[in-house]
């Protein structure tokens, strides 16, 4: 009896010719169509659009499964990249000389009615325009459903790719959340910290309302004056104006005084971050609109639809795909995904052949039972007493006697 030689995992020739992954019913192009659709629109809408545009007939559950598998592959590659960078500390490529780095969070709904924060990094090049202004362009993103302590490491790959460590100027713009400053401390320690200007104006409005009342003309006038001074003048004048607010004349003097002291401390501790006139003169952005737009574009546009509730394990795969799409790097990311899926498919161990059960032992044959031989009921042409006819007469005679 002959034996077959062992073979290594690989692509069957026909699968390779048709551009199929092992065990996949779709070509790489068809798979990309499905994943791109699942990345852009809710899974339930994907089948109808795919059928209309490509003729592919798939279910919503298939769109979900194929999209999430591709996203998992991309997350795996990005995680491996992060670990490699932290282990080897390679030299980063040269990027734009002046960059903006902003981080912010957005809440997403999870199963069970729970809300968790997705943290997003936005990186862009600050470039001059024809009108003499400077704008942040070529934005790219990295988003993860993770705690602040681990997000800095998760964002390392994108900062490395953009060559941020070689930038001569990095404007780190964010709101006043403590985790944002911790991120900048770890990833861009030499950056120029800038408090998001609209966020600063919100704090001016808060303290004015506590003293003058909500919606009053006095509040509007005071905020307008201090907003202009903060944007174009001396921040110390704004701090002095906050300290001079007449809390004693408020409807609730004690509460107004507490708000005044709290907001004065808020601005005082962030004094280097509110020099907006100097930042503007240097051509630096004073708003974190780049990352706030990313929250809407990358996260909320896809993950906060009506009735959506996500399992935590399914959020990062979709975020990775959304970041690739919104960063205009889909083709590059798809090549990475295809390679990763092919590697996973060919590296799975070949299952052993099913064991052949040993032959069952032959059971000792049991001879069929032989029914007892019946006595003849007719002998020499005459019925015996066992003949049914004779038994019938005896039965009737007995019955007649008993009656």
Residue 383: in which H helix or E strand, if any?
strand 382-383
Q: Which pLDDT score is estimated for 213?
A: 97
With CA atoms as reference, report the closest residue to 32 among 7, 1, 69: 69
- Bridge pairing between strands 98-110 and 114-128: antiparallel
| Residue 285 near residue 206 (C-beta atoms within 8 A) | no
Residue 368 DSSP code: P
Give me the tens of pLDDT residue by residue for the chain, a chain 403 residues long. Answer: 555 555 555 545 545 554 566 667 889 999 999 999 999 999 999 999 999 999 999 999 999 999 999 999 999 999 999 999 999 999 999 999 999 999 999 999 999 999 999 999 999 999 987 776 789 999 999 999 999 999 999 999 999 999 999 999 999 999 999 999 999 999 999 999 999 999 999 999 999 999 999 999 999 999 999 999 999 999 999 999 999 999 999 999 999 999 999 999 999 999 999 999 999 999 999 999 999 999 999 999 999 999 999 999 999 999 999 999 999 999 999 999 999 999 988 876 656 666 666 655 544 555 555 555 556 666 665 666 665 555 554 554 444 333 3
Other C-beta atoms lying within 10 Å of the C-beta of residue 380? 5
List the Cα angle 175/181/187 in 5-degree steps. 125
From the list 247, 259, 201, the residue with the least C-alpha distance to 225 is: 201
What DSSP string describes 36-92?
Answer: HHHHHS-TTTHHHHHHHHH-----HHHHHHHHHHHHHHHHHHHHHHHHHHHHH-PPP
What pLDDT is stored for residue 389 in this prediction? 52
Candidates 258, 263, 271; CA nearest to 222 is 263
> Are the C-beta atoms of residues 157 and 176 closer than 8 Å to each other?
no
* DSSP E strand stretches across 80-198: 98-110, 114-128, 134-145, 169-174, 192-195
């Amino acid at each position: 009896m002959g034996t077959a030689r062992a073979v290594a995992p690989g692509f069957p020739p026909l699968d390779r010719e048709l551009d199929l992954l092992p065990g996949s019913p779709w070509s790489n192009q068809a798979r990309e169509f499905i994943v791109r659709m699942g990345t852009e629109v809710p899974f339930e809408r994907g089948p109808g659009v795919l059928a209309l545009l490509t003729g592919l007939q798939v279910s919503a559950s298939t769109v979900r499964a194929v999209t999430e598998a591709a996203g998992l592959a991309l997350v795996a590659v990005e995680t491996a990249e992060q670990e490699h960078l932290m282990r080897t500390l390679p030299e980063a490529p040269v990027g734009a000389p002046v960059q903006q780095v902003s981080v912010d969070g957005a809440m997403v709904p999870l199963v069970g009615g729970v809300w968790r924060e997705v943290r997003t990094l936005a990186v862009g090049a600050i470039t001059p325009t024809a009108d003499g202004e400077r704008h942040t362009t070529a934005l790219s993103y990295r988003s993860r459903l993770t705690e602040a302590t681990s997000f800095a490491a998760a964002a390392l790959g994108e900062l490395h790719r953009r060559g941020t460590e070689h930038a001569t100027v990095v404007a780190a713009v964010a709101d006043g959340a403590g985790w944002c400053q911790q991120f900048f401390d770890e990833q861009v320690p030499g950056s120029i910290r800038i408090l998001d200007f609209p966020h600063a104006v919100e704090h001016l409005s808060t303290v004015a309302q506590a003293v003058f009342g909500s919606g009053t003309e006095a509040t509007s006038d005071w905020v307008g004056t201090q907003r202009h001074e903060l944007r174009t003048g001396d921040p110390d004048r704004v701090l002095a104006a906050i300290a001079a607010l007449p809390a004693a004349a408020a409807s609730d003097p004690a509460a107004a005084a507490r708000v005044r002291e709290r907001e004065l401390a808020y601005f005082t501790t962030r004094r280097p971050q509110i020099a907006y006139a100097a930042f503007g003169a240097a051509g630096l952005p004073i708003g974190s609109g780049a990352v706030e737009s990313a929250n809407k574009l990358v996260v909320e546009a896809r993950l906060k639809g009506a009735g959506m509730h996500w399992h935590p394990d399914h959020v990062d795969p979709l975020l990775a795909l959304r970041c690739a799409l919104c960063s205009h790097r889909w083709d590059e990311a798809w090549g990475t995904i295809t390679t990763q899926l092919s590697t996973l498919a060919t590296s799975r161990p070949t299952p052993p052949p099913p064991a052949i059960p040993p032959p069952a032992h032959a059971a000792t044959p049991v001879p069929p039972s032989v029914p007892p031989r019946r006595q003849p009921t007719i002998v020499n042409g005459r019925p015996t007493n066992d003949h049914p006819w004779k038994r019938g007469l005896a039965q009737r005679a007995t019955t007649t006697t008993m009656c």
